[in-house]
Chains A and B, each alone.
Chain A
């Protein structure tokens, strides 16, 4: 599903150049649930941004679902993001003046799905994250965990090939974190490919594979026995 070969990325900081990714090689099959770990500055967020086409690599190959991702124009990147990727952010990034339902429907709007169908689909996804009753509420009326569940529903609504979660539990307490991980595990159980960036060990162990990044290279890549989050909820 994801194939990365010898990926390099550096940032210019004035006259200095900061080499963040120093040749990453990585593959993920369909249906995998991968945790990307590393301390801050290890390059894990940069990697996720490149995977999410929010940023471009300097060199190396990136193939997503058989499509080589390179030389993207803004418009093309927008189309690919919409078609291939779902994003879950640490700070939820819901649009605060739109209701939960409208937030979930937004990627469908950019897919040019008709209004009625959009509403139905969005409601269906809200139902799957257990927030059907909260459809008309604004984000400010939801708890942190609920917001992240809305964000996950929004990421899933576009039916992406890969779900990218950047510290999805970073802003949540541990109970709520496990609820969110439980939801992510269930989505993965349905066969969706998910990448989770985290620096929390317990969250990482709820995935099926852990990739450790340090100083811009992968230092460890191991399959693990998944800890189900359900038992803590």
Chain B
């Protein structure tokens, strides 16, 4: 394989047939180029989807109350379901092993004033654990904690945009802001990757807010994350159990889809994963079909080359070349063309991707790129393809009878 004479011969043949070599090589290079671009596009779509989801924990479940659509247990249809604080405690008690983090959500809107700056923002009153569920990143200060919750402290964590609006260049942490007339101390500032609107939000401890505004036990929704070790079937089974128990508690018919809504991220995530897996398979399939066309092209050219060199092969055999040496020569040549041109296609695709890939960042399509494993796989495919392309011509060459080859004088 690393025989200088063989390589000399291969280079010689290629040099003498530049156009032929180029055209054959092009078909394989092009095929690999398309394959890599297709895979990168699927990867880009996947990235786009993942970006949309990754500001929440992927093992999260959101429970929202609705309005019943069926009469059940003596209640008429059309009843509004209202969650209360003890629903959260009930869930916590019912599923001690299944739940990782659990939080109530109380949605409201508040006006905010600091010095002369004012604004109106959505506010969510939640448990401290909500930070983990929403994957909130605090860049300055801290999130509120259990102590704030039990003391019903008037503290709040504000989004970066809120901080910019109200405080301009000032450090908001430790300052007091007036929310609907009551003073709250800002304990932290958070950011949210990819979503500016989420940074116009304020978080406050649930108890504090419920007491100040309406002195209520009502909550708007419940968010939780389940045990991260759960796989999809287990997660789905858990959300079913959760739905059952909540429906029973609120006297909703088990068949009623509207009374309560349990939304499991894993399910949606799984749908998208299988969607992009299908896309991936399709693009690999299409790429392969194109590659096969390239391989057939190389095989075709090699058969032609062998025909042209029949006499030469006959001479070599008369001089003592063994069949396997002839096979070697042909296989090495086809593998060399395939691998080299494939690499050129690969590098070309890679250059284009690294130039434009990072600049593409839309919700559905983001940073298309290929992984190292794709590159390695493509290389192996190329070498195999080269061997396959050369196989039939090589066997043909090895079967050349010296007498036949030499007789056409």
Contacts and interface: CB of A to CB of B under 8 A. Distances in A.
A52 interface: yes
Interface of B: 4-5, 12, 16, 311-312, 314-325, 398, 401-403, 406, 409
A74 B319 contact: no
Nearest to B13: A97
Nearest to B15: A97
Contacts of A82: 319-320
B406 A55 contact: no
Interface string A81-109: 11100010111010101000000001101
Contact of B409 (A54, A90, A154): A90
A217 to B, nearest CB: 22
B316 A106 contact: yes
7 contacts: A55-B401, A90-B409, A93-B406, A95-B316, A110-B321, A111-B320, A158-B319
A49 interface: yes
Nearest to B309: A95
A90 B407 CA distance: 10
B112 to A, nearest CB: 85
A81 B312 contact: no
Contact of B317 (A49, A78, A91, A95): A78
A107 B322 CA distance: 11
Contacts of B315: 93, 95
A79 interface: yes
B314 to A, nearest CB: 8
A110 B326 CA distance: 11
B318 A52 contact: yes
B319 A110 contact: yes
A115 interface: yes
Given A97-B12, A97-B16, A81 B403 contact: no
A75 interface: yes
Contacts of B16: 97
B321 A78 contact: yes
A82 B318 CA distance: 8
A93 B311 contact: yes
A81 B318 contact: yes
Contact of A79 (B322, B398, B406): B322
B323 A75 contact: yes
Given A89-B406, A95-B312, A158 B320 contact: yes
A109 B6 CA distance: 10
A49 B403 contact: yes
A91 B409 contact: yes
Nearest to A74: B323
* Candidate in A75, A79, A81 with the most chain B CB atoms within 10 angstroms: A81
A55 B403 contact: yes
A232 B375 CA distance: 69
Interface residues of A, number: 26
A118 B343 CA distance: 35
Given A75-B323, A93-B406, A115 B4 contact: yes
Nearest to A49: B403
Interface of A: 49, 52, 54-55, 74-75, 78-79, 81-83, 87, 89-91, 93, 95, 97, 106-107, 109-111, 115, 154, 158
A5 B394 CA distance: 37
B322 A74 contact: yes
* Closest 4 pairs (CB-CB, A-B): A82-B320, A110-B320, A54-B403, A78-B322
A110 B318 CA distance: 11
Contact of B319 (A55, A81, A90, A97): A81
* Candidate in B4, B5, B401 with the most chain A CB atoms within 10 angstroms: B5
A110 B403 contact: no
Contacts of A79: 320, 322
A109 B5 contact: yes
B220 to A, nearest CB: 83
A158 to B, nearest CB: 7
Nearest to A89: B406
Given A81-B318, A93-B314, A109-B5, 18 more contacts: A55-B403, A75-B322, A78-B323, A79-B320, A81-B319, A81-B320, A82-B319, A82-B320, A91-B409, A93-B315, A95-B312, A95-B316, A97-B16, A107-B319, A110-B319, A115-B5, A158-B319, A158-B320
Nearest to B314: A93
A83 B16 CA distance: 32
A97 B16 CA distance: 9
B5 to A, nearest CB: 6
Contact of A74 (B4, B318, B398, B406): B398
A107 B319 CA distance: 5
B318 A54 contact: yes
A87 B322 contact: no
A69 B141 CA distance: 94
A52 B319 CA distance: 11
Nearest to B5: A109
Contacts of B311: 93
Contacts of A89: 406
B4 to A, nearest CB: 7
* Candidate in A74, A78, A87, A110 with the most chain B CB atoms within 10 angstroms: A78
A54 B402 contact: yes
Contacts of B312: 95
B250 to A, nearest CB: 85
Nearest to B315: A93
Contacts of A110: 316, 319-322, 325
Nearest to A82: B320
* Candidate in B16, B321, B322, B323 with the most chain A CB atoms within 10 angstroms: B322
A75 B324 contact: yes
B323 A87 contact: no
Nearest to A91: B409
A154 B318 CA distance: 12
A111 B320 CA distance: 8
A115 B4 CA distance: 9
